[in-house]
Amino acid sequence: MSAFQRHRRSKLIIANFTGFEADLLRSLAGQLVELLRNEAAVPRDDADPFAAMMDFSGPTQEPEDPVLARLFPTAYPNDEEAAAEFRRFTEGTLRDGKAKAAITIIDGLEEAGLPPELTEEGLMIDVELDEATAETWLRSFTDLRLALATRLEIEEDDEGYWHSLPDDDPRAQAHDIYEWVGYLQETLVEALSK
C-alpha cells in the first residue's frame, strides 16, 4: 500500500490498496457501523424527518460497551443530570455521524472497485478522494483507532509489550492493524496539509 498523497494536477487525495488491505479496511469500518447502530441511540430512518429532528429521546446513560463509552465520553463527569441531558440531546446524532463517516470509507472502496466478496488475488484498489471526503475518512480513522485501542487495552508507552509478543499471537496481529490504521491516518493528514 502506498501512503495517501495529493495528486499534483488534480489535487485529489489518492492511495492504492491491495485487495486484502481494502477488504480489511472495509471490514473494520463495517464493524464500527454495526457497533454504532447496535443500540437504541440511533435515529430511526422511518420517522418523519421533522419529527426525527425534534426527537430528543436519546440515551441518558453512558454506554456499557467500553468502545462506545470511549467514543462518547461523559460530557459532565461531576454533574450526572447535566451529563444525562447532554447525552440525550446529542448522542444519537453523533452516532449517526460516525456511522455515516465509516460508510463513506466502505462506499469509497467499493466505488473504486472492491468487489462484495474478495476472491481475486493481486487485485489493486486505487482510491481518489476530494478534500471533503478525505476529511471524512480521517475522522473515521480516528474512531477506528480509538475503537481498536480500547479493545486491545493499549496504553501510553506500552510499545515494548506489543513488540515482545510472537508474530503469530492474535493480539500482535490486531496491534499491527491498529498501527496500520495509524499510518493511514498520518499520511492522510500529511496529504491534506499540502
Domain coordinates in residue numbering, the chain: 5-192
Q: Where does the pLDDT of residue 50 fall: very low under 50, low under 70, confident under 90, or very high at 90 and above?
A: low
Say what the pLDDT of residue 147 is.
96
| Mean pLDDT over the full length of the chain | 89
Say what the pLDDT of residue 61 is.
85
Q: Where does the pLDDT of residue 89 fall: very low under 50, low under 70, confident under 90, or very high at 90 and above?
A: confident
Per-residue pLDDT, averaged over 105-133, amounts to: 94
- How is residue 161 annotated by DSSP? H
Three-class SS state of 156: coil
Say what the pLDDT of residue 48 is.
57
Q: Give dist(CA 36, CA 147) in Å, integer.
A: 11
Where do the H-state alpha helices sit in 58-156?
66-71, 80-111, 131-152
List pLDDT tens digits, range 165-182.
999 999 999 999 999 999
Q: Where does the pLDDT of residue 194 fall: very low under 50, low under 70, confident under 90, or very high at 90 and above?
A: confident
Of 94, 100, 57, residue with least CA distance to 73: 94
Say what the pLDDT of residue 41 is.
43
Which residues 6+ apart lie within 8 Å of 110 measured at CB?
A: 26, 116
The reported pTM is 0.87
Of 100, 104, 105, 74, residue with least CA distance to 88: 74
**In the predicted model, is pLDDT for residue 43 greater than 50?**
no
Q: Which residue bears the cell 502506498?
A: 2
**In the predicted model, is pLDDT for residue 38 greater than 90?**
no
Q: At what angle do helices 131-152 and 80-111 cross, to 10 degrees?
A: 120
